[in-house]
Amino acid sequence: MNISLILTKQCNLRCRYCFEMHENVYMTEATALKALDMAVSDGGKQVGVSFFGGEPLLCKPLIYKCVEYSKRFSEIQFSWNMTTNGLLLDDEFLRFAVNEKIEIAMSHDGLMSRVNRLDAGGKECLSALDEKLRLLLQYLPGAFIMATTTPETAGTVYDSLKHLIDVGVKRFNLAVDSRPCAGWDEDSMEELSRQLGMLGDLILEKFCRGEDVYFNPFEEKILSVTKDRPCHVCKLGMRKPYVDWDGKIYPCIQFGGIPEYQMGSVAEGVDVSRREAVYRSSLKSPSFCEDCAMKKRCVNDCACLNFQQCGDMAQVSGEQCAYQRILITRADEMARKMLETDEAHFVKRYIS
């Protein structure tokens, strides 16, 4: 069983696009350990645990405690990962992460951080984020970096992602601000497309020099063709339930605190029939997707994102549809150029 633990809703940043309310609530040790007991009692030999927030590093002692507690289950193989803004990373924690094989994904918007990532006092924190990013990469050179863009910063996406690559990032992502109030329009989407075209050329340049970097949204679109596999295999709530700070279980983060989506608690375990009902209701997709040629390569079935943007798991927002089309078009452009430039390298990277 895999689980995500929402250790707190609090955060040391106030990103402009954040959907969290930053409540001062924290998971107790008893709740966290009960969640681990629940995952272990599922009967499998492997348990995956994700530490999530808010900012999970505000709860470092609880992370240490969970890993220590897991040692008593010697027959279970635990794997750990964490999503963090990175500002509280230090040598001690990173040594621990390396020793315990905790994968760390850090959110960093590159130069866009100057606009969107503010501390609690309203000050931008690009240089602090850069410093922590460098430290993270010293310990975990393959760490995954997650950027977010907004309509206001779409024109600096290329410079921002290049900044991350220049610092040493090899694997990264880009999400678009998905709050309904974000204000995406045709012009900002067109600009985003232009910026991602430039990014494709930069990745191609690196590819030609044998210095591969991986922009995850392009990778999944290309691999969906070369490996004939789907882009998105979440299975809402079935593979990785979210344990909220208070021990209540939900299918994913956007559903936290909404009673009709609760599917158990760490005290009572997962309510299997409830979980299946929620999953089944996430399988519908809008009629306008039915005949779309891009359907197989589109992440239109992320129920969590759809719920956040449209208030309905089975609806896809205009922004999400536009972003998926941009990604597929720009990924294919890049792939074509790679194939024409160095077929052997392309085959090694995407086919063999």
Residues in contact with ligand SF4 by CB under 6 A are 11, 13-15, 18, 20, 53-55, 85, 107, 288-289, 292, 294-295, 298, 300, 316, 321, 324-325
Measured from the CB atom, is 31 or 107 closer to ligand SF4? Answer: 107
CA distance 301 to 291: 15
Distance of closest approach, residue 291 Cβ to ligand SF4, in angstroms: 9
Distance of closest approach, residue 292 Cβ to ligand SF4, in angstroms: 3
CA distance 275 to 219: 31
Residues whose CB falls within 8 Å of the CB of residue 153, separated by 6 or more in sequence, listed in order: 109, 112, 115, 116, 160
Distance of closest approach, residue 223 Cβ to ligand SF4, in angstroms: 17
Measured from the CB atom, is 79 or 329 closer to ligand SF4? Answer: 329
Distance of closest approach, residue 267 Cβ to ligand SF4, in angstroms: 27
Residue-wise burial string across 136-149, b where 16 or more C-beta atoms lie within 10 A, e elsewhere: bbebbeebbbbbbb
**Backbone angles phi and psi of 26, in degrees to 5:** -135, 140
Measured from the CB atom, is 161 or 305 closer to ligand SF4? Answer: 305
Measured from the CB atom, is 40 or 292 closer to ligand SF4? Answer: 292
Measured from the CB atom, is 13 or 112 closer to ligand SF4? Answer: 13
Distance of closest approach, residue 82 Cβ to ligand SF4, in angstroms: 12
Q: Where are the beta strands (DSSP E) in 251-314?
A: 264-265, 269-270
Q: Where are the beta strands (DSSP E) in the chain?
A: 2-6, 46-52, 77-84, 102-107, 144-149, 171-176, 214-215, 242-243, 249-250, 264-265, 269-270
What tokens appear for 117 in the block?
A: 């990532």
Distance of closest approach, residue 347 Cβ to ligand SF4, in angstroms: 28
Measured from the CB atom, is 66 or 129 closer to ligand SF4? Answer: 129
